[in-house]
Chains A and B, each alone.
Chain A
């Protein structure tokens, strides 16, 4: 599935697709909101929550790896060195 195909789906189908096929990559917090990051084939989807894991505020889909920076910054590499 391409990013364009995904964007054409209704939100409920997009969420089903994420639940069944996406790979969870990380989590971040913005103010009091929680955002989960998933990868689906060659693109990424952020799930913004109104209520964690219950009520989705919106989905943000993208292909640019630059937008992964907030997640990469959280990785503790100390134990990997």
Chain B
């Protein structure tokens, strides 16, 4: 008898900066057993992927959005996600070079987290943990338990 493994948690990350995409994928490598990072390079592609998920597909446990992206930016992507039934409660984090209060307030207004992109190791260290902090309690605890 074979036992199927539980599906991995999906973290979905949209950013047009390929270096930042790599950076975040590398940061989640320590959680590779439980977390798979899927990526898109603009908000339009992110919305296209997410809106086409079927009933039995795994909904991401976390969506990370860069703010300054071509075609549809991160803020507009967040607004559109919040209008979609399946994504009204899904944790979203705006991951941006900005540290401006206006952007933080925007994220807060639409029930999203806000993380400024790191400049050095002090902010880079534990970045994956900072993202995981935004996941639902049960998922966050499960991911952390697997690491122990």
- Candidates B19, B116, B119; contact of A47 at CB < 8 Å: B119
Which B residues between 25 and 57 are near A, CB-CB below 8 angstroms? none
* Complex interface bits, B55-97 against A, C-beta within 8 A gives 1, otherwise 0: 0000000000000000000000000000000000000000001
* Chain A residues closer than 8 Å to B100, beta-carbon distance: 23
Does B99 contact A20, Cβ atoms closer than 8 Å?
Answer: yes
Does A53 contact B99, Cβ atoms closer than 8 Å?
Answer: no
**In the bound complex, what is the Cα–Cα distance between A12 and B116 (angstroms)?**
17
Does A19 contact B99, Cβ atoms closer than 8 Å?
Answer: yes
Report the minimal beta-carbon distance from B66 to chain A, rounded to whole angstroms: 11
Name the residue among B98, B120, B124 with the largest chain A CB count within 10 angstroms: B120
Q: Does B1 contact A (CB under 8 A)?
A: no
Once A19-B116, A34-B19 are accepted as A-B contacts, the answer to whether A55 and B121 lie under 8 Å apart by CB is yes
* Complex interface bits, A38-80 against B, C-beta within 8 A gives 1, otherwise 0: 0000000001000011111000000000000000000000000
Q: Does B117 contact A (CB under 8 A)?
A: yes
Does A54 contact B118, Cβ atoms closer than 8 Å?
Answer: yes
Does B118 contact A53, Cβ atoms closer than 8 Å?
Answer: yes
Report the minimal beta-carbon distance from A45 to chain B, rounded to whole angstroms: 10
Interface size class of A (residues with CB under 8 A): 10 to 19
**In the bound complex, what is the Cα–Cα distance between A16 and B20 (angstroms)?**
20
Q: Does B123 contact A (CB under 8 A)?
A: yes
Which B residues between 109 and 125 are near A, CB-CB below 8 angstroms? 116-124
Report the minimal beta-carbon distance from B72 to chain A, rounded to whole angstroms: 15
Report the minimal beta-carbon distance from B104 to chain A, rounded to whole angstroms: 12
Q: Does B23 contact A (CB under 8 A)?
A: yes
**In the bound complex, what is the Cα–Cα distance between A44 and B118 (angstroms)?**
18
Which A residues between 12 and 38 are near B, CB-CB below 8 angstroms? 12, 15-16, 18-24, 27, 34, 36
B interface residues (Cβ-Cβ under 8 A, vs A): 17, 19-20, 23, 97-100, 116-124
A interface residues (Cβ-Cβ under 8 A, vs B): 12, 15-16, 18-24, 27, 34, 36, 47, 52-56
